[in-house]
Amino acid sequence: MAERIDSHQPAVRLQMEGVSKRFGATIALEDVGIKVAAGEVLALVGENGAGKSTLMKVLSGAIKPDAGRMWLDGVPYRPAHPLEARRAGVAMIYQELSLTPHLNVQENIMLGMEPVSLGVVRWKEVRRRAIEAIKEFDNPELTPDARVSRLSVGSQQLVEIARALAIGCRVLVLDEPTSSLTQRDVERLFEIIGRLKQQGKAIIYISHFIEEVKRIADRVTVLRDGRVVGSSDVAAITTDQIVALMVGRQVEELYPRCERQAGEVVLEIEDLAGLKNPRSASLKLRRGEVLGIAGLVGAGRTELLRSLFGLEPVRKGRIRLGLYSGPASPTRRWMQGAGLLSEDRKEEGLALSLSVADNVTLSKLKGFGPLGMVLPSRQDKATRRWLRELDIRCRGPRQPVGSLSGGNQQKVALARLLQHDVDVFLLDEPTRGIDVAAKALVYKLINAVATGSPAEGRQPKAVLMVSSYLPELMGVCDRVAVMCRGILGPTYKVSEVNEHELMFEATGREATA
């Protein structure tokens, strides 16, 4: 068999070779080849749009490549559709989990392949096989009868992995598996990946986090613009080299920073507490500065912004925004000159079926016509300015925002704050899920609004920004504070702390000097 696949490694489990795919004029994949051995973790990295997802869709039979061949354990592999890929032992675990929340763990694991005799499900058998699949994980939360909707995200993910194991998968693809996990769940997941490796599964691990890749993967393949631009043993390549391959250029100019003048305090909160989170938060935000909030997912950072903005209740504490004090509804907050960028673009940030222009102007539909009328032509005119300034790629202001790429959608969401001309920008994970080029633009924009431009009569604004990505906070912010378990710590000048100290604070441990 080894000769048939023309490989020097005898245990190659999956090989893809010369895979190409075009969508109209865009080349999604060109002559891409990857190889994964049994018992190996291959990390697949690249910016958004680099072709990772398309490649995995080819692997899972969801799309047909224009050219290219695949082998599974030396046997030619040509899945016609996803079901066939699953039967062949190729299992995918996507970022968005695909479980049925109302069913319990065992039903989810065996869904679609329940053992049946005479048309009746053999529940004992279901249970036995489910228990066999989950016993590996050693997780008290995971019992066959637990309802999936009651499980944490981390445990739900394990249910998906258990389902893959129950099919008897040979190749397991994990697409951004850690993006919504807590640190503890990430550790648990890594431990399980280690065990699956030992069982001889071939694992493809897709991630944006290079640090994770360095830890978990044996080899790394970097994709850029639909091509493989590098492949290496993880031990033989540095993080910087990987990033340089991904981006294709140097990263220094990613975080521009102009000389800023901190002005008067525009937002002041004192001992703010919400329903559950935040438990206690105090901060002062000045005009002309960017204040970052670091912390782990679930630490209460999002809830802090949301209760500030009136989207979640405030239990106690003082808020002063400009001249106004006390809690207020989102409607009022916009009028008082604050705007919130949601962390969840698709569910909350944007109305996907509405046009770009409607999304940009929704928070303030005034001044678009006489007698309080809203004339679409004037909305379009206002929107075109942002299409130009933020380099938003679309057919025009009337295109539905849902058909734009992630980076362009995020720019539309940001354009709303700019169009509204808010004084206080509340940004929740402003660069989540967008590619490096779009990230660079977001950083540039944050710098520009915080700096202002006296020449053009634009005042400096204040930015309060939540991010889970420390290098970004260190690059963009003037000051940074850490939130841990609902409590916001003291603020530091970024020049006076390093990432390790912040990480220690975020995980609730004592900083080791």
Partner 1 sequence: MSDKQATPNQAMTVNWRGLLNTLSPVLALVGVFELFVLIAPSSFATVRNIEMIARQTTIVGVAALGMTLVIISGGIDLSVGSVVALSTVAIAWLLEYAGVSPLVAAIGGVAAAAFFGLVSGVLITRLRVVPFIVTLGMMLVVRGAAKGIGREQKIDVDPVRLKWLDDLLASVPPERSWMLLPPGVWMLILLAVAMAALLRYTRLGRHTFAIGSNEQTARLCGVAVDRVKVLVYTLCGVFGGLAGLMQFSRLTVGDPTVAVGLELNVIAAVVIGGGSLSGGEGSILGTLVGALIMTVIASGCTQMGLPNWVQEIVTGAIIVAAVALDRLRHRRTA
Is the link from the previous residue into 278 a cis peptide, with omega within 30 of 0? Answer: yes
**DSSP secondary structure letter of residue 460:** P
Evaluate whether 344 touches 366 at the Cβ level (below 8 Å): no
CB of 394 to partner 1, least distance (A): 10
Please state, in angstroms and rounded to a whole number, the distance separating the CA atoms of residues 419 and 355: 15
Q: Taking CB under 8 A as the rule, does residue 169 contact partner 1?
A: no
465 has which bridge partners?
292, 427
Q: Which stretch binds partner 1 (CB under 8 A): 111-119, 122-130, 151-159, 340-348?
A: 340-348
224 has which bridge partners?
227
Q: Taking CB under 8 A as the rule, does residue 437 contact partner 1?
A: no
The token pair at 159 is 């249910």
CB of 398 to partner 1, least distance (A): 7
CB of 306 to partner 1, least distance (A): 9
283 has which bridge partners?
269
CB of 328 to partner 1, least distance (A): 10
Strands 116-117 and 120-121: antiparallel
Q: Taking CB under 8 A as the rule, does residue 335 contact partner 1?
A: yes
CB of 410 to partner 1, least distance (A): 14
Q: Which stretch binds partner 1 (CB under 8 A): 251-259, 353-361, 439-447, 455-463?
A: 353-361
CB of 354 to partner 1, least distance (A): 5
Q: Taking CB under 8 A as the rule, does residue 490 contact partner 1?
A: no
Q: Which residue has the tokens 């057919």?
A: 395
Please state, in angstroms and rounded to a whole number, the distance separating the CA atoms of residues 469 and 437: 16
> CB count, 10 Å around CB of 215?
12
Evaluate whether 310 touches 291 at the Cβ level (below 8 Å): no
Count of residues that bind partner 1 according to CB under 8 A: 36
CB of 330 to partner 1, least distance (A): 5
Q: Taking CB under 8 A as the rule, does residue 199 contact partner 1?
A: no
3-state SS, residue 252: helix
Please state, in angstroms and rounded to a whole number, the distance separating the CA atoms of residues 86 and 105: 20
CB of 424 to partner 1, least distance (A): 14
Amino acid at 235: A
Please state, in angstroms and rounded to a whole number, the distance separating the CA atoms of residues 202 and 216: 13
CB of 364 to partner 1, least distance (A): 8
Q: Taking CB under 8 A as the rule, does residue 432 contact partner 1?
A: no
Q: Taking CB under 8 A as the rule, does residue 340 contact partner 1?
A: yes
Q: Taking CB under 8 A as the rule, does residue 342 contact partner 1?
A: yes
Give the residue, chosen from 69, 398, 444, 485, that forms a contact with partner 1 under the rule CB under 8 A.
398
Q: Taking CB under 8 A as the rule, does residue 330 contact partner 1?
A: yes
The interaxial angle of helices 123-135 and 153-167, nearest 10 deg, is 110
Cβ-based nearer residue to partner 1, 310 or 475: 310
Q: Taking CB under 8 A as the rule, does residue 363 contact partner 1?
A: yes
Q: Taking CB under 8 A as the rule, does residue 409 contact partner 1?
A: no
CB of 395 to partner 1, least distance (A): 5
- Taking CB under 8 A as the criterion, which residues in 287-316 touch partner 1? 311
Give the residue, chosen from 113, 234, 362, 448, that forms a contact with partner 1 under the rule CB under 8 A.
362
Please state, in angstroms and rounded to a whole number, the distance separating the CA atoms of residues 255 and 159: 40
Give the residue, chosen from 26, 199, 403, 498, that forms a contact with partner 1 under the rule CB under 8 A.
403
Please state, in angstroms and rounded to a whole number, the distance separating the CA atoms of residues 128 and 436: 47
Q: Which stretch binds partner 1 (CB under 8 A): 186-194, 255-263, 319-327, 391-399?
A: 391-399
Burial 22-50 (b: 16+ CB within 10 A, else e): eeeeeebbbebebbbbbbbbbbbbbbbbb
CB of 347 to partner 1, least distance (A): 6
Q: Which stretch binds partner 1 (CB under 8 A): 22-30, 233-241, 277-285, 323-331?
A: 323-331
Please state, in angstroms and rounded to a whole number, the distance separating the CA atoms of residues 217 and 194: 10
Amino acid at 290: V
The token pair at 384 is 């075109």
Please state, in angstroms and rounded to a whole number, the distance separating the CA atoms of residues 170 and 201: 5
Cβ-based nearer residue to partner 1, 266 or 340: 340
Give the residue, chosen from 176, 343, 358, 478, that forms a contact with partner 1 under the rule CB under 8 A.
358
Q: Taking CB under 8 A as the rule, does residue 374 contact partner 1?
A: yes
Q: Which stretch binds partner 1 (CB under 8 A): 1-9, 61-69, 98-106, 352-360?
A: 352-360
* Helix residue spans in 10-152 (DSSP H): 52-59, 82-88, 105-109, 123-135
The interaxial angle of helices 436-451 and 406-420, nearest 10 deg, is 10
Give the residue, chosen from 329, 453, 459, 498, that forms a contact with partner 1 under the rule CB under 8 A.
329
Using CB under 8 A as the criterion, which residues of the chain lie in contact with partner 1 when the complex forms?
Answer: 311, 329-335, 340, 342, 347-354, 358-359, 362-363, 365, 369, 372-376, 395-396, 398-399, 402-403, 416
